[in-house]
């Protein structure tokens, strides 16, 4: 292996290309100067082939190389890196550094951090970073909204920060998920949302795909383009219905991962719930019934050691809550077993212990209790939904109005289990039908902004958000345009509520969980023979069109396009407060003697791209640093490589 190959292997352990200032090779010692030492993984460096030893002093990494390397004096290190490494490094630094990160996951558009201390995060810097839409603190999480390419940024953050343990939760305390990071217990709502998002979110992509296929099959059979008895239909339907049918198995994996238990134990618990013989038992002749004549009625058709095994009305196929609770309690037993069972026996005794205890416990207690809880939730929503005349319209209007607000605070996950409960027990859902209007009202509002705005920078921001909204991803639209402009966001909420009123008053339901935006429409097609066919889809489309017209026209009338006046040699800020008063000019002297160059000539891409603001590069002629104005030191890096200053009139600069 030659020298360049060795050096390329060092990149991940050094924090990525953007974290390296320069490097020099002297004899068999390689010196690498890094910008943020917290991103450097000495253990990983020592494991690289050809590295005999590794140590770090301040921001200088000293690597003692093997004898086989050729001497190459003052050679620049050839690095290859992801184009998102720079953004990843900025994010890690400004969430308080690697040491402040307890856990990290991502959803469709956001990085979701669990931090030890959120006060250490530089929220304002992140909000103004190119590539970050906005930052939210909700549900016990520090959420960095990225947009549709969040998975690429997530991978870069993991690689640059060596955060593999944070994604798996391997090095976390058992109680980490219950804390806010400062030792305070999180409330039950935050804990519930955190669990639901962690367990259900990884399955949404495949669930959406299965829903789309199921909707298309319903459409094809409705127009007699495909027979439900054909082999083609059966093969496609095996996926379309199979994933949702066996959902407890997949949720067993994600729940076990969330609760730090062996994932295959979680899958085994899920498989036991949907085992065909047990599913068949539910339809056998009842030996007894509990809560007969009520909405919570449950029957038992068999016993375990003399105790009745009750089955919820819908059984356990496609269920959500029972497997999550089973894995939660099973993880406690799993962690206890790891402490008491000898290491050499844990491989088979630990799974045996958890499954032998949890499987009967799930069928005897956890399943029936979760069935009762789900029944209570359904009863409450049915009570509201079935109010004479106004019930359906009121419930759907409420969901349509608050859905985007819930997205802002990241708590929309709290309503998702209700949809799965309805789909599993009734075969359709009415709770989350109205939320489909929200992406389309955002789409229409952005269309009005594109038509009315004369601000070219605003249009450049709006176009990608406009496209994302068409496919149901609304965060770029909400955080980037409509929410900062306020009035368009208010209009979209009202328009979505009106769309919800139309759907709720007409009793619109959906029959599956599918994609978002355009791909969510097939969910409204009734796949059952002799059902209502396209009725719900047609009404949903009418409601969406009405909501879009209200959103578009309302934005055109109410929103006023104000292009900020340019200061000299400065681009207008599309997000500037329209009523803000510009600050007065401040005199800033050079902090060091030397020759000045444009910031674009800086070797560091973050500064050269002006991501962190305007600046200048100075090649110093002496090693002395002077105060550029009268003021105070607002920030001083531990490594003394950077100092932040604030003048008496409030001007802030960074000397790096």
Find the distance separating the first CA and the last CA of the chain, reported in whole Å: 37
Q: In 3D, which of 121, 120, 131, 55 has the Cα closest to residue 88?
A: 131
Quote the CA–CA distance of 441 and 445 in Å, as a whole number: 6
Q: What is the DSSP letter of 534?
A: T
> Are the C-beta atoms of residues 342 and 321 closer than 8 Å to each other?
no
Place of tokens 């996950």: 413
Residue 546 belongs to what H/E stretch? helix 535-558
Quote the CA–CA distance of 207 and 219 in Å, as a whole number: 18
Catalytic residue status for 107: yes
DSSP 344-389: GGHHHHHHHHHHHHHHHHIIIIIHHHHHHHHHHHHHHHHHHHTSTT
Category of 532 on φ-ψ map: left (φ > 0), alpha (ψ -120 to 50) or beta: alpha
Residue 447 belongs to what H/E stretch? helix 436-452
Catalytic residue among 541, 602, 641, 656: 656
Q: Count the alpha carbons within 13 Å of 155 in the hemisphere toward its beta carbon.
A: 7
> Are the C-beta atoms of residues 594 and 620 closer than 8 Å to each other?
yes
Quote the CA–CA distance of 42 and 44 in Å, as a whole number: 5
Please give the C-alpha separations between residue 238 and each of 210, 315, 396, 428, in angstroms, as whole numbers: 10, 20, 32, 19
DSSP 95-158: TT-GGGEEEEEE-SSEEEEEES-GGGS-HHHHHTSTT--EEEEETTEEEEE--TTHHHHHHHHH
Give me 580's structure tokens: 């803000």
Q: In 3D, which of 372, 360, 373 has the Cα closest to residue 303?
A: 360
Catalytic residue status for 224: no
> Are the C-beta atoms of residues 371 and 298 closer than 8 Å to each other?
yes
Q: What are phi and psi of 652, to 5 degrees?
A: -115, 135
Give me 537's structure tokens: 């889809």
Please give the C-alpha separations between residue 79 and each of 9, 28, 53, 220, in angstroms, as whole numbers: 9, 19, 21, 52
Crossing angle of helices 416-425 and 367-385, rounded to 10°: 100
Quote the CA–CA distance of 374 and 251 in Å, as a whole number: 17
Residue 25 belongs to what H/E stretch? strand 20-26
How many C-beta atoms lie closer than 10 Å to residue 303's C-beta? 12
Q: In 3D, which of 453, 526, 522, 445 has the Cα closest to residue 487?
A: 445
Q: In 3D, which of 410, 415, 465 has the Cα closest to residue 442?
A: 465
How many C-beta atoms lie closer than 10 Å to residue 636's C-beta? 12
Catalytic residue among 107, 406, 438, 523: 107
> Are the C-beta atoms of residues 477 and 442 closer than 8 Å to each other?
yes
> In degrees, to the nearest 5, what angle opens at C-alpha 172 toward C-alphas 270 and 139?
75
* Number of residues written out for the chain: 656
Active site residues: 107, 656
């Amino acid at each position: 292996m030659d020298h360049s190959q060795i050096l390329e292997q060092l990149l991940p352990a050094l924090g990525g290309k953007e974290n390296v200032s320069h490097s020099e090779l002297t004899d068999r010692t390689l010196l690498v100067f890094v910008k943020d030492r917290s991103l450097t993984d000495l253990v990983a460096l020592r494991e690289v082939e050809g590295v005999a030893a590794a140590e770090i002093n301040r921001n200088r990494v000293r690597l003692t190389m093997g004898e086989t390397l050729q001497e190459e004096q003052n050679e620049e290190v050839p690095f290859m890196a992801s184009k998102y490494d720079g953004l990843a490094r900025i994010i890690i630094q400004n969430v308080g550094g690697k040491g402040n990160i307890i856990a990290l996951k991502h959803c469709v558009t956001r990085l979701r951090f669990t931090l030890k201390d959120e006060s250490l995060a530089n929220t304002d810097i992140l909000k103004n970073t190119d590539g970050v839409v906005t930052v939210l603190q909700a549900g016990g999480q520090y959420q960095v909204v990225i947009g549709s390419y969040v998975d690429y940024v997530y991978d870069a953050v993991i690689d640059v920060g060596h955060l593999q343990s944070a994604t798996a939760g391997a090095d976390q305390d058992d109680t980490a998920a219950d804390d806010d990071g400062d030792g305070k217990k999180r409330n039950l709502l935050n804990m519930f949302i955190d669990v639901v998002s962690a367990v259900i979110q990884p399955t949404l992509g495949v669930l959406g795909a299965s829903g789309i296929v199921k909707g298309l099959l319903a459409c094809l059979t409705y127009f007699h383009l495909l027979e439900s008895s054909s082999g083609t239909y059966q093969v496609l339907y095996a996926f379309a219905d199979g994933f949702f049918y066996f959902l407890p198995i997949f949720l067993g994996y994600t729940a076990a991962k969330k609760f730090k238990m062996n994932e295959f134990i979680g899958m085994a618990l899920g498989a036991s719930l949907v085992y065909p013989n047990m599913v068949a038992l539910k339809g056998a002749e009842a030996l007894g019934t509990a809560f007969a004549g009520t909405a919570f009625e449950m029957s038992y058709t068999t016993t375990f050691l003399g105790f009745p095994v009750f089955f919820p009305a819908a059984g356990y196929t496609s269920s959500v809550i029972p497997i999550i609770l089973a894995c939660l309690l099973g993880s406690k037993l799993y962690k206890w077993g790891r402490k008491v069972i000898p290491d050499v026996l844990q491989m088979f005794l630990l799974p045996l212990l958890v499954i032998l205890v949890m499987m009967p416990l799930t069928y005897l207690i956890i399943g029936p209790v979760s069935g009762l809880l789900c029944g209570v939730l359904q009863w409450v929503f049915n009570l509201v939904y079935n109010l004479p005349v106004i019930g359906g319209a009121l419930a759907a209007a409420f969901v349509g109005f608050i859905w985007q607000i819930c997205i802002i605070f990241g708590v929309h996950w709290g309503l998702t289990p209700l949809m799965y409960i309805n789909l599993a027990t009734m075969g359709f859902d009415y709770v989350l039908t109205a939320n489909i209007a929200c992406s389309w009202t955002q789409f229409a509002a952005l269309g009005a902004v594109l038509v009315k705005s004369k601000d070219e920078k605003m249009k450049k921001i709006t176009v990608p958000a406009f496209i994302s909204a068409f496919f149901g991803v609304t965060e770029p639209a909400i955080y980037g345009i409509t929410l900062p402009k306020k009035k368009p966001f208010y209009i979209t909420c009202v328009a979505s509520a009106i769309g919800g009123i139309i759907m709720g008053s007409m009793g619109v339901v959906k029959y599956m969980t599918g994609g978002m935006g355009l791909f969510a429409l097939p969910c409204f097609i009734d796949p059952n023979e002799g059902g209502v066919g396209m009725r719900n889809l047609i009404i949903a489309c009418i409601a969406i069109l009405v909501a879009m017209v209200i959103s578009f026209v309302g934005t055109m009338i109410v929103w006023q396009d104000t292009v900020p006046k340019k200061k000299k040699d400065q681009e207008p800020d599309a997000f500037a407060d329209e009523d803000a008063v510009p600050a007065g000019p401040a005199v800033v002297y050079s902090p060091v003697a030397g020759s000045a160059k444009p910031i674009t000539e800086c070797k560091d891409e973050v500064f050269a791209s002006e991501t962190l603001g305007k600046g200048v590069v100075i090649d110093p002629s002496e090693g002395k640093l002077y105060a550029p104005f009268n003021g105070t030191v607002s920030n001083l890096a531990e490594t003394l490589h950077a100092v932040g200053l604030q003048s008496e009139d409030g001007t802030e600069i960074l000397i790096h």
